[in-house]
């Protein structure tokens, strides 16, 4: 119970890596707010039924107002925000395609969630974390940003932005003991990936070939590292991008 008494918000926490993260943080004693555009009530019900302290809220990270309201509601109900996991992203609905067929509308739609959504969330918690002189922000990057993957330039670029934002925010917030890190998953078999034939056929086999560890990744593989970055054991770690990918990217 290393996170007893801590208050966490997990964006996109209803499914996949976000859900596994919510469960892991809650099992360590945190009260977790699952914020998502769908599935949040059912996700929270599942974890509450398991005896964990979890609440659900409708959160669209594209909305300045809703982001501010979710943070304000969390502080009103539970006193503060100690941990923010920026997990929400547009990802599995993206169909890899020829570069020339890309369009600016898709870029803007994806950036609104994957990049500006993270900015909105960080801005909403910064005053709280800075004032209490402690906080953990954990972002979801991706191995694609290190390797470069074909056919999804907007997604890859958005995760590159997350890496840069993580490093810059670590320097902005460090003096106030707010630690900012990212986890960089490899291709991970979440429910949405299982359902996305277009992604599994494009990246599934290739991901396994590049790994030192010859098995598929599951959501808990990533959630465990996110937990580490939220825990007291990582108290002198900031600005880092930890690859949780079975030994595919080395840096």
Give the active site residues.
155
Least distance CB 193 / ligand NAD (angstroms)? 5
Q: What is the biggest distance separating any 2 CA atoms in the chain, rounded to whole angstroms?
A: 51
Whole-number Å distance between alpha carbons of 183 and 86: 10
Whole-number Å distance between alpha carbons of 12 and 229: 18
60 in contact with ligand NAD (CB under 6 A): yes
Applying CB under 6 A, among 55, 57, 74, 92 the residue interacting with ligand NAD is: 92
Least distance CB 238 / ligand NAD (angstroms)? 20
246 in contact with ligand NAD (CB under 6 A): no
User: For the stretch 9-22, what's the b/e string if a residue is b when 16 or more beta carbons lie within 10 angstroms of its beta carbon?
Assistant: bbbbbbbbbbbbbb
Region of 10-18, 103-111, 124-132, 234-242 interacting with ligand NAD (CB under 6 A): 10-18
14 in contact with ligand NAD (CB under 6 A): yes
Structure tokens at 9: 């918000």
Residue 135 makes CB contacts below 8 A (sequence gap 6+) with: 81, 82, 83, 84, 125, 128, 129, 173, 176, 177, 178, 179
Least distance CB 194 / ligand NAD (angstroms)? 10
Q: Look at the block and give the residue holding tokens 């500006």.
A: 116
Applying CB under 6 A, among 3, 44, 59, 229 the residue interacting with ligand NAD is: 59
Check: CB of residue 21 under 8 Å from CB of residue 223: yes
Least distance CB 176 / ligand NAD (angstroms)? 26
Applying CB under 6 A, among 6, 169, 170, 185 the residue interacting with ligand NAD is: 185
Site for ligand NAD in 211-230 (CB under 6 A): none
Rounded to 5°, angle at Cα 112 from 109 and 113: 100
169 in contact with ligand NAD (CB under 6 A): no
Site for ligand NAD in 94-153 (CB under 6 A): 113, 140, 142
Applying CB under 6 A, among 3, 6, 9, 16 the residue interacting with ligand NAD is: 16
* Burial class, 219, CB count within 10 angstroms (exposed 0-12 / middle 13-18 / buried 19+): buried
Residues forming contacts to ligand NAD in the complex (CB under 6 A) are: 11-12, 14-18, 36-38, 59-62, 87-92, 113, 140, 142, 185, 187-188, 190, 192-193
């Amino acid at each position: 119970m290393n996170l007893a008494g801590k208050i966490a918000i997990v964006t996109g926490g209803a499914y996949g890596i976000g859900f596994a993260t919510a469960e892991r943080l809650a099992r360590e004693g945190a009260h977790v707010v699952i914020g998502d555009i769908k599935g949040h009530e059912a996700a929270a019900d599942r974890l509450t039924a398991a005896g964990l302290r979890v609440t659900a809220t409708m959160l669209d990270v594209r909305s300045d107002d809703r982001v501010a309201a979710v943070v304000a509601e969390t502080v009103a109900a539970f006193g503060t925000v100690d941990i923010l996991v920026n997990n929400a992203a547009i990802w599995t609905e993206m169909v890899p395609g020829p570069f020339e067929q890309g369009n600016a509308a898709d870029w803007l739609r994806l950036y609104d969630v994957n990049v500006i959504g993270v900015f909105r969330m960080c801005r909403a918690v910064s005053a709280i974390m800075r004032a209490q002189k402690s906080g953990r922000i954990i972002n979801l990057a991706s191995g694609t940003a290190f390797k470069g993957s074909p056919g999804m330039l907007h997604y890859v670029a958005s995760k590159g932005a997350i890496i840069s934002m993580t490093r810059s925010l670590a320097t902005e917030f460090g003096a106030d003991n707010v630690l900012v890190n990212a986890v960089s998953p490899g291709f991970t078999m979440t429910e949405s990936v299982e359902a996305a034939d277009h992604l599994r056929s494009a990246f599934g086999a290739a991901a396994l070939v590049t790994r030192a560890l010859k098995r598929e990744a599951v959501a808990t593989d990533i959630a465990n590292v996110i937990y580490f970055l939220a825990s007291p054991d990582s108290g002198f770690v900031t600005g880092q991008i930890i690859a949780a990918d079975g030994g595919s990217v080395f840096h």
